[in-house]
Amino acid sequence: MNTVIRRLLIFSLIAPFTLAPVASIAAVNAETIIPGYATVSHPSTVILKSKGCQNINFEYIVDEELPLENTLWLVQIVHATKNIIYGGNSWFSNLTYLGDEALPSLPRAGIRTAKVCRTTWVEGKGTNKVSVPGVKPGKYRLYFAGVTVDPTTGKKLGEKTEVFRSIIFK
């Protein structure tokens, strides 16, 4: 048998086994615009690990017009119909109502991650512990919200901007 044909035959027999795992891990990316706040790229499908936890990346670019004081946006992974949060993260500017405890603004571009686990897990420490339910395969919602807060009280000013998208866990 010709060497070229032999190599092609061997590759065609081996390729499905070596390339299949790579294809199954790949996630389809989506882009969500939180008007006036940010553009966020994120997966629309996530392959869950068989056990344990994993991070989901949300790559963002903050709107050029957004002030770097007293503004924030967040993303949460929520149940499709119930008020259950499975994970999330936020971006914030310098929140002046916090006074000397205010952190500097996060970068205008970067990545925020949301942790999800197959089983219930605990986030936080001491009296700030929160039990977070585990994610099972299925369709969930991504909740994006942007808000501006009062510089002295920290209370919401104006309307909250909300956007919903779907995410599938397999």
* Position 73 in a domain: yes
Write the pLDDT tens digit of every residue in 1-11.
Answer: 443 333 333 33
* Position 7 in a domain: no
Task: Tell me the CB-side half-sphere exposure of residue 52, using CA atoms within 13 A.
Answer: 4
* Position 98 in a domain: yes
Asked if residue 84 lies in contact with residue 140, where contact means CB atoms within 8 angstroms, the answer is no
* Position 161 in a domain: yes
pTM higher than the cut 0.85: no
Phi, psi at residue 162, to the nearest 5°? -125, 140
Distance from C-alpha of 76 to C-alpha of 145, rounded to nearest angstrom: 9
* Position 109 in a domain: yes
* Position 50 in a domain: yes
Low-confidence ranges of the chain (pLDDT < 70): 1-28
The total of structural domains in the chain comes to: 1
Q: Residue 147 is encoded by which pair of tokens?
A: 């808000």
Write the pLDDT tens digit of every residue in 108-146.
Answer: 999 999 999 999 999 988 888 999 999 999 999 999 999
CATH code at position 153: 2.60.40
Query: What is the model's pLDDT at position 13?
Result: 37
* Position 14 in a domain: no
* Position 15 in a domain: no
* DSSP-derived pairing of the beta strands 45-46 and 29-34: unpaired
Show the domain range for 87: 25-169
Q: Residue 26 to residues 46, 79, 99, 140: CA-CA distances in angstroms?
A: 8, 23, 44, 18
